[in-house]
Structure 1
Amino acid sequence: MLDKTGIAKRIAKEIKDGYYVNLGIGIPTLVANYIPESLDVILQSENGLLGMGPFPFDGEEDPDLINAGKQTITMLPGSAVFDSAMSFGMIRAQKVHLTILGAMEVSENGDIANWKIPGKMVKGMGGAMDLVASAQNIVVAMQHVNKAGESKLLPKCTLPLTGVNCVKKIVTELAVLDVLPEGGFKLLERAPGISVDYIMKATAGKLVIEGEIPQMVL
């Protein structure tokens, strides 16, 4: 079973050379620490940053440099700072190749719920709506089950939706799964020490299993 760091490491393998990538709040922000140095990748944040680096070491934080989640970040040589209007213009013009988001629920047809729990006050969904509507490819980093052990990969989301039919791939503490165009979660890889049967029991939505499922390599 993977921890949050393990999920981030596995998702970093989805990033290709030349990509512009937006990292959402939560587990996705950790991905910045595991992008191979051999890749030319530019990280974008909707609050107006282009060219983010890894998180700073303790004592080296600059409070004026933060990402959309208000975490202190570093910036690489050649990076740029601008207003959020320009940043959202990049997103809406589909200049971002890959968006990595956290989620509370994902449905078997690729719907995502990641911004609101009824009864709890939130300020709004932020840039998530623009990202899910405009991104070329969305990968979700999330926990497979909630604290009660109930699946978060569902036939249909129960929480308010952020986007519809937009998620392409999911990485959880248990598995890597594709969301099929016709609906369903296709199991691609399983986490170290996790059996296919365990993943089946933890997945409420339609799970498609074909052949031997390899253990993921981090």
Structure 2
Amino acid sequence: MSEAARRARAQTGRARRRRRFVRVLLVIVSVVVIVWAGLGAWFLSDRHRSEPAKSDAIVMLAGADDGRHGVARDLLRDGYAPELLVSNPDAAGKKKAAELCRMEAAECFSPMPKTTAGEVRAVREIAEDAEEFGDGWESIIVVTNKPHAARAGAFFRRCLEDAGDGGGPITVRVVSIEGLDISRLPIHVLRETAGFIKEATVAEAC
């Protein structure tokens, strides 16, 4: 075989390998995009949220000034619950949270750790105190953003299944804000997916 023929064969082999690599890469990228889009749609699904109803308390989870403060305030003023619990008023959105804390029916708390798990534990302790004083809870409204609704609802329901009136479960209704910064959706999907994986593998205590 001549030198020219060997070079041509080598070039053909390299071209085939490049095409194969590009095809594999396109398949991987397509799968990642499909999975990511599916997760985003699942996290934003209405199935994770409820219509507000009369409850024993409203719990606003910590977060940015994305509209949750107004939703929590309106729920309280509309008489959906006699008490508003505001999580982590010294973190993001602290000015809005501080305004809520000045309301007569509001109680602010700083969970430790400052995570959803910490918030659930803090709310459970408050619910247990209410039960101890003969005023056990039967239901709560949890206010958060859309992507967080699925994980927050699952975590609260699991950890409040025996913290209600008479040792029964507390009904958890998750109400989310309507707005969403779509540019931050990938960050939300990553955070919420990691949170679910952590809960499933580490089994955080309530």
- Structure number having the greater helix percentage: 2
Q: TM-score, normalised by structure 1?
A: 0.34
Q: Which has the larger radius of gyration?
A: 2
TM-score (norm 2): 0.35
